[in-house]
């Protein structure tokens, strides 16, 4: 699938991804700090991916969904690279994800501070009496983020 807007493009083709660029962002993110490149590669292989591309074809953002395609999906690793932020691309990226998964009834995600981005699409706080999670801190799994990386 592909979507186009204002010269930007979103594609679900994993072959188009600049995996190096995706990894270089994710390893500095608060949710996957110091993630090894092979973990990113394997997570991409096991996910439905959404690559956001700038008019020159460069990677401008990314999102992925871990899903069975029918009942459930976990939206993860959503980002727009700094130079491309603040022009509606993050909202468009989530819009395209939801368009593609319109027949999947249950979607979840985790976020530290972007609740407002997702609330506009109907995401809300889960009922704590019905949800349980087990989430290790990235530094427990991948070690501390190295200085200057
Ligand atoms: C979050 C992010 C993807 C937004 O990308 P963007 O292209 O700049 O976003 P948009 O221009 O589409 O605007 C996002 C909208 O969500 C809102 N928003 C809510 N929480 C936000 C947050 N933490 N960061 C950015 N925008 C946020 C903005 O105010 C904006 O609303 P508006 O259109 O009413 O002004 C981008 O800032 C990013 O990559 N941040 C670092 C990674 C990250 O935190 N990802 C989300 C993990 S859950």
Which of helix, strand or coil describes residue 93? helix
- Asked whether 106 and 71 are in contact (CB, 8 A), the reply is yes
* pTM (two decimals): 0.95
The pLDDT profile of the chain, 149 residues, written as one tens digit per residue, is 999 999 999 999 999 999 999 999 999 999 999 999 999 999 999 999 999 999 999 999 999 999 999 999 999 999 999 999 999 999 999 999 999 999 999 999 999 999 999 999 999 999 999 999 998 888 888 887 766 55
Which of helix, strand or coil describes residue 141? helix
- 70 alpha carbon – ligand 1 mean position (Å): 27
Q: State phi, psi for 16 to the nearest 5 degrees.
A: -80, -15
- Please enumerate in sequence order all residues whose Cβ is within 8 A of that of 69, keeping only pairs 6 or more positions apart, or say none: 48, 104
Q: Point out the ligand 1 atom lying closest to the alpha carbon of residue 113.
A: 23
- Closest protein CA for atom 17 of ligand 1: 117
């Amino acid at each position: 699938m592909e979507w186009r807007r204002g010269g930007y493009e979103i594609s679900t083709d994993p072959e188009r991804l600049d995996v190096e660029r995706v990894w270089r962002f994710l390893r500095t993110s608060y949710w996957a700090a110091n993630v090894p490149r092979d973990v990113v590669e394997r997570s991409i292989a096991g996910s439905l991916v959404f690559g956001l591309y700038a008019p020159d074809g460069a990677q401008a953002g990314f999102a992925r969904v871990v899903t069975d395609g029918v009942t459930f999906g976990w939206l993860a690793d959503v980002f727009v690279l700094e130079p491309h932020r603040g022009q509606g691309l993050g909202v468009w990226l989530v819009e395209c994800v939801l368009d593609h998964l319109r027949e999947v009834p249950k979607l979840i995600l985790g976020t530290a501070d972007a609740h407002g981005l997702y609330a506009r699409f109907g995401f809300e706080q889960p009922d704590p009496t019905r949800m349980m999670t087990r989430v290790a801190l990235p530094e427990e799994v991948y070690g501390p983020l190295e200085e200057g990386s």
